[in-house]
Amino acid sequence: MAVVTCIEDLKRMHRRRAPKMFFDYCESGSYTEQTFRDNCSDFASLRLRQKVAVDMSGRSTASEMIGQPVAMPVALAPVGMTGMQAADGEIKAARAAEAFGVPYTLSTMSICSVEDVAAHTTKPFWFQLYVMKDEEFVDGMIARAKAANCSALVLTLDLQILGQRHKDLKNGLSAPPKLTLPVMLDLATKWGWGLEMLKTKRRSFGNIVGHAKGVGDTSSLMSWTSEQFDPHLDWGKIARIRDQWGGKLILKGILDADDARLAADFGADAIVVSNHGGRQLDGAVSAIRMLPSIVAAVGDRIEVHMDSGIRSGQDVLKALALGAKGTYIGRSYIYGLGAMGQEGVRQALEVIRKELDISMALCGEKNVKALRRENLLVPRGFEGDWA
C-alpha cells in the first residue's frame, strides 16, 4: 500500500480513484476560485514561532467542542454527496470519526440518510441543516435528526442561493451520474469505484428521496434542491428552527464581525467562521483572515469555530492560536475517503493529529488548549486594511 505522508498524497489518490465529476465537485470553488485559493494561501502566509529547551513530555491534543470531549479540536465538516466519492461514504466517514474521537457532521445533501448513519454508528453525530422552502420537509428533517439521536444541529447560513461552480456545469454533475459518453469513458478507468458502487443501493440523496414532496424520481432531484433553498431565511426563521430543535445549535457560515455579534445575541452554542470552502461568495476574504476580528468581537460570549482551507495539523494550530476553539476539515477528509474509504479518513485524521502534535511541541506547547497568538508570527496587515 502507498505510503501516505500528508493530505496532498491522499488528494492524488482520490483524483486517480474517483470519477472526474466527483473529484471536481470536491476540488472547486465558485466562479474564479479566488476565495478557494486564498483560503489555503493565507494559512501559508502565517508562520509558527519556534521555541526550544522546553519540556515536551506529556503532550495532549484533547479538547472540547460545545462541551463534548474531542481527541483533537477537528470535526468533520458537512459535505454533500460524500457517498458518491466512495460507496456508503457518509457511513465510512462517520465510523472513522467515531473511532478517532472527533465529531462527524452529516449534510442534509448526503447520500446515506440520517437513519442509515445512525444505524451504522454507536455514538451521536451532528446533523447539518439547509433551510428549504418546504417547511414540512424541514420540520420532518429536524424530527428525524432528533430521533437519530444527533447531538448538535449545524445550521448553514451561507447557501440560501447557490454560487456557481463552472466545473459542475461542464461535467453535468448528478447523483447518480448520468451515463453520457464522456462519463462512461471516465468510468472505464475508475473500475474500483464502480465495483463498490454496484454493491450498494445508496446512490441518491438519502435524506430527501421519499421524504420531500414532488421528488419521487431522482432525475428531478437536482432541480428540486436548487429551487428549494429558502431565500427568505432570516433570524426569525432561525429562531423557529432553534425552538423546534431544542438542543445544541451551531451557526455555520459567519464571515463578518457584525453577523457574529447578531449570532452571539441570538444565543447559539457556537459559530463557524467559514466561507463554505470558497464555494459561495467568490471574492470574499479567507476565513483565517477574518477569524481574529470575529474572535475579538464575540470570543468571550460564544464559542468560535472555523473552517475553510485547513490541509494540515499546522493549519489547525494556526487557527487555534488565532482564537478558534474548534476547527472543521472538509476536503482534507474527502480526499482520504475518495482515496481509500474509511481507512483513508482515518489516515487523514492521523496525518493531521501527528502534524498538530509535533508542531505544537516544536512551538514549545504541550497542551492544545494553551495555544495562543504568541505561538505565531503574523505578517503585518494580515487581517487587511479594508475600507
Ligand X SMILES: Cc1cc2nc3c(=O)[nH]c(=O)nc-3n(C[C@H](O)[C@H](O)[C@H](O)COP(=O)(O)O)c2cc1C
Which residue reads 454533475 in cell numbers?
173
Work out whether 291 is an interface residue with ligand X (CB under 6 A).
no
In contact, 308 and 39? CB cutoff 8 Å:
yes
Among 90, 282, 307, 315, binds ligand X (CB under 6 A): 307
Distance CA 54, CA 365 (A): 8
Interface residue with ligand X, options 113, 156, 286, 314 (CB under 6 A): 156
Residue 135 has phi, psi (to 5 degrees) of -65, -35
Q: x/- contact string, 183-222, with ligand X (CB under 6 A)?
A: ----------------------------------------
Residue number, 78 or 103, with CB nearest to ligand X: 78
CB 20 within 8 A of CB 186: yes
The answer to whether residue 276 is catalytic is yes
* Residue whose beta carbon is closest to ligand X: 330
- Among 14, 166, 232, 276, which one carries the catalytic annotation? 276
CB of 76 to ligand X, least distance (A): 9
Please identify which residue in 30, 35, 39, 312 interacts with ligand X, judged by CB under 6 A.
39
310 lies in the site for ligand X, by CB under 6 A: yes
Q: Select from 12-20, 220-228, 330-338, 339-347 the region that touches ligand X (CB under 6 A).
A: 330-338
Phi-psi region of 276 (alpha: psi -120 to 50; beta: other; left: phi over 0): left
Least Å distance between CB 155 and ligand X?
Answer: 9
Does position 61 bind ligand X by CB under 6 A?
A: no
Nearer to ligand X, 22 or 61 (CB): 22
Distance from chain centroid for Cα 274: 9
| Residue (44 or 56) nearer to ligand X, CB | 44
- For the CB of residue 146, give the shortest distance to ligand X in the complex, in Å: 19
In angstroms, what is the minimal distance from the CB of 164 to ligand X?
A: 15
Q: Is 11 in the site for ligand X (CB under 6 A)?
A: no
Closest CA to 156 of 274, 244, 260: 274
76 near ligand X, judged by CB under 6 A: no
Cell of 352: 493531521
Give, in order, the Cα–Cα distances in Å from 261 to each of 239, 296, 304, 325: 15, 10, 12, 17
Strand-by-strand arrangement of the 270-273 sheet: 74-76, 326-329, 303-306, 270-273, 249-254, 152-156, 126-129, 105-106
Instruction: Decide: 278 and 37 in contact? Cβ < 8 Å.
Output: yes
> Within 331-350, which residues bind ligand X (CB under 6 A)?
331-332
Q: Is 173 in the site for ligand X (CB under 6 A)?
A: no
Asked whether position 132 contacts ligand X by CB under 6 A, the answer is no
Q: If DSSP codes are grouped into helix, strand and coil, which group holds residue 276?
A: helix
Alpha carbon distance 18, 178 (integer Å)? 15
Angle between helices 235-245 and 135-147 (to 10 degrees): 30
Which of the residues are catalytic?
276
Which residues would be at the binding site for ligand X (CB under 6 A)? 25-26, 39, 77-80, 107, 109, 128, 156, 252, 274, 276-277, 279, 307-310, 329-332
